[in-house]
Amino acid sequence: MFDACVLGVDPGIASLGLAAVCRRARRPHLLWSQTLRTSSRQPEELRLKEIYGGVTDAIARHGAASVAVERVAWNRNVSSGMHVARATGVVLLAAANAGLQIAEYGPLEVKMAITGVGNAGKRQVHEALTRAHGLRDVPAQPDAADAVAVAVCHLTQARLRHEAERAVAR
């Protein structure tokens, strides 16, 4: 009924957060998290290839049923945004090649789902993952912790969508 395992992704070219989260007894359970780092000394295409390999490996290793990605938030630094957008494209390609469903969530949407507050800081998100959602071993590394939050957001949204569809069908 719900995703057995979702791979949460906080995209980036220099560091990309990954987290596998599943639902057990109606609660999220963190299976694994990692920050994949690429070297700025490498050409961008090799960095993107490394990201593709890391995402593909994570999908296979953890049996992900879907992939949830934090949507790129464009700011003043367009060049940086383009690199993140390219990394996001590689993540989407890896998920599509695996035949998985893909969902994207904006940063405010993730924060609202996790903390109930759209302008929550990283510390508040980390604390909510631990206290409100009952997760253990939430990583201290920000990119990996953000990936956990994206995955939990997806599990929450999938449950709400399912309940709404059931209510409409009645």
- Between the alpha carbon of residue 94 and those of residues 3, 23, 57, 88, the distances in Å are 18, 23, 9, 10
Q: Which of 3, 10, 50, 146 is catalytic?
A: 10
How does DSSP classify residue 34?
E
* DSSP summary character for residue 47: H
Residue 17 dihedral angles phi and psi, to the nearest 5°: -85, 135
**Integer CA distances (angstroms), 41 to 34, 61, 90, 95, in order:** 21, 28, 19, 27
Known catalytic membership, residue 3: no
Exactly one of 3, 50, 70, 104 is catalytic; name it: 70
d(CA 37, CA 168): 44
3-state secondary structure of 44: helix
Do residues 138 and 131 lie in contact, with contact meaning Cβ atoms separated by under 8 Å?
A: no
Check if 50 is active-site: no
Among candidate residues 3, 50, 104, 143, the one labeled active-site is: 143
The reply to whether 10 belongs to the active site is yes
- Compute the Cα dihedral for 51, 53, 56, 62 and give only its sign: negative
The residues assigned a catalytic role are 10, 70, 143
